[in-house]
Structure 1
Amino acid sequence: MRLHLSSNDYKKNYNLFAFRSNIEDYRLAYFLNKYSNFLFRRMVEDLHCVINGKNIYFSTFEDNDLDYEKSCYLICNKSLYNENFSAENSLFSSGLFVNTAFLIPELSKFDYLLKLIGVWKTHEIKDISKNLNMITQINSETHIDLNTLKSINNLIF
């Protein structure tokens, strides 16, 4: 018997924030820990996706609150990867080029994603949004409507 799953089979019990910041991921995790009630730690294994036949890894930090059954993930939305290039009829010789891949291509203008899993009260979501806006290293943030994302499967891990 064959079982088919679709993205509708997964209950979307999480919130998603997207924001821009030009600082390194570990520094951003530090500032979120300092100015919010998060305790982000780098995950042992980064988030892995296969995009256009390439293995791409996105840095990921996690904060688990086991008492309240809540989890938070700080995920880098873009990843740089090396790609070999060789072409006989090209101006450039063969070599190594750096390309950019996005975890959620529809949100390519955002550098980071904050995924909140579990039951969050409305005032907690508002407090997180307020705290994100207070951090000067974050340029802009927005709460994302999950129904508008085409590549939402990349967030299932």
Structure 2
Amino acid sequence: MAVHKLILEDVFNEVSYTLIGIHCTIEDYRVAYLLNKYLGINLVRSKEDLDFKNSKSNYAFFEWEDKKHLTTWSLVSNICKREEARDIDLKSLFKTQEQITKTFNLIPEYRQVNYFLKIDNEYNYTKEKSILNRILNIPQIVTAYTVDASQLKSKDNLIFY
């Protein structure tokens, strides 16, 4: 009896979304507000942040589902800063601790990017240039550009819920 083997690797590795990296230093809720205003969308903060590595890092997450165009817009923070206490051994009778700040990145390949805007469309139809130009017109945003998601090593971190 013949054995048939199905190879589905190419089907699931296909990238069907647009990913835009955003550089700015303002708070996450202000970025969401400005994107809503300039792009005409309605991003809303999720009740729970994205949680990675057993609560070692949390990333702010905003999402909006455009049912008319079958598009899901997601804004996620790329940087998480967390303070941790570390014991210092000074060879003395008492133990001392110091506070250190650790920085975690959702996408480590792009450490300098503050936020990612993921536009997931079932029909792979987005006006990428138009969206990018409108984002670049926002005065508080330093720069924004399209990221090739197929080249990312940590693209699994971009699978939300």
- Per the normalisation by structure 1, the TM-score is 0.85
Partners of 1:54 and 1:30 in 2: CA distance: 27
Runs of 4+ aligned residues of structure 1 deviating over 6 Å after TM superposition are: 5-8
Matches of residues 41-56 of structure 1 in structure 2 within 5 Å?
Answer: 41-50=44-53, 55-56=56-57
Which of 21, 24, 34 is the equivalent residue of 2:24? 21
Give the CA RMSD over aligned residues: 2.4
Which of 141, 145, 155 is the equivalent residue of 2:144? 141
Partners of 1:135 and 1:30 in 2: CA distance: 11
Partners of 2:10 and 2:56 in 1: CA distance: 22
Structure 1 unaligned segments of length 5 or more: list them. none
Partners of 1:144 and 1:44 in 2: CA distance: 27
For residue 13 of structure 1, report the CA deviation from its aligned partner. Answer: 1.2
Q: How many equivalent pairs are there?
A: 149
Which of 88, 100, 105 is the equivalent residue of 2:103? 100
Which structure has the larger Rg over C-alpha atoms?
2
Structure 2 unaligned segments of length 5 or more: list them. 1-7
Letter in 2 for 1:59: A
Q: Name the counterpart of 1:39.
A: 42
- Cα shift readout 1:116-156 (whole Å, capped 9, x = no counterpart): 1113435x111110111100111011101112211111111
What is the percentage of aligned positions where both structures have the same residue? 31
CA distance 1:29–1:54, change in 2 (3 Å): closer
Partners of 1:24 and 1:125 in 2: CA distance: 24
Q: Name the counterpart of 1:121.
A: 125
For residue 56 of structure 1, report the CA deviation from its aligned partner. Answer: 1.0
Letter in 2 for 1:73: S
Q: Name the counterpart of 1:57.
A: 58
CA distance 1:117–1:95, change in 2 (3 Å): same
Q: Is 1:153 the counterpart of 2:156 in the alignment?
A: yes
Partners of 1:148 and 1:86 in 2: CA distance: 40
Q: Name the counterpart of 2:115.
A: 112
